[in-house]
Amino acid sequence: MDDVSSIPVHFRFSFPESTHLWLFDVRSLVQERQRLTEAGKAFKNPYTSTPLSPETLESIQKHVHWLHSRRYILTADTVEHVSYEQKAVELCFLIDSHGYLTNIRWFLTMSLPSIHRFTETINDLWSESLGLTDQERLAIYPDWPTNTTYLIVPYQTMNLTKAMDHLITALITFLKAGTVRESRGLAAVYIITALTTVSSGARRAFPFLQEMAV
């Protein structure tokens, strides 16, 4: 566990586990999560190997969002990529909090063509192939404009950084929009389903969702 005195106050994150209260530098938790998910392993307390609860994952996500909104740097990456990469961390924590173990690389390795395909797929799931009614859509995304068929508005750019930032920002908005946890969980499923069309890692992890996207 990190030495408390060495952790800046805004990076301190604590959570209860059994009869203990654990305190970490949230940046180390973010790095540990990336390491474990790249190895295909569940995100666990580094010292007890106990899987983190959905409530703890959601709390980490909220802390990351708070840091991100105040432009604190969570990684050592270049300034050019920090913005959408930090948002991708938040997006993965949001999805993970609903019980779906993701890998941040599934998002960050997208190319412009794969972003286009992902957007087409999730828009098709939303507007056509799942047969959702407007009432069902609004339960998942209350702010969705019913005068359009798009869930994610296509962003016409040849700049990969701008395209990634647009997509991940829109997905976070979508994933946080539902007023009840069940609705937010459905949003997570739709995102992963679309992801299986562009990520081999997502396909291996969620083959049953890939069938929905065909």
Burial of 20 (0-12, 13-18, 19+ CB in 10 A): exposed
Read off the tokens for 167: 């997509």
Residue 58 has pLDDT above 70, yes or no: yes
Contact (Cβ atoms closer than 8 angstroms) between residue 74 and residue 85: no
pLDDT in tens, 136-156: 999 999 999 888 889 998 888
Task: Kindly state the average pLDDT of the residues 160-184.
Answer: 92
| Amino acid symbol at 118 | F
pLDDT in tens, 100-111: 888 888 998 999
Alpha-carbon distance of 83 to 63, in angstroms, equals: 16
Read off the tokens for 135: 């009432």
Alpha-carbon distance of 97 to 112, in angstroms, equals: 28
Which pLDDT does position 69 carry in this prediction? 76
Per-residue pLDDT band at 3 (split at 50, 70, 90): low
Alpha-carbon distance of 131 to 54, in angstroms, equals: 29
Return the number of other C-beta atoms located less than 10 Å from residue 184's C-beta.
21
What are the domain boundaries of the chain? 4-106, 108-213
Tokens 């408390």 correspond to 4
pLDDT in tens, 4-19: 666 778 888 888 888 8
Alpha-carbon distance of 91 to 109, in angstroms, equals: 15
Alpha-carbon distance of 181 to 169, in angstroms, equals: 20
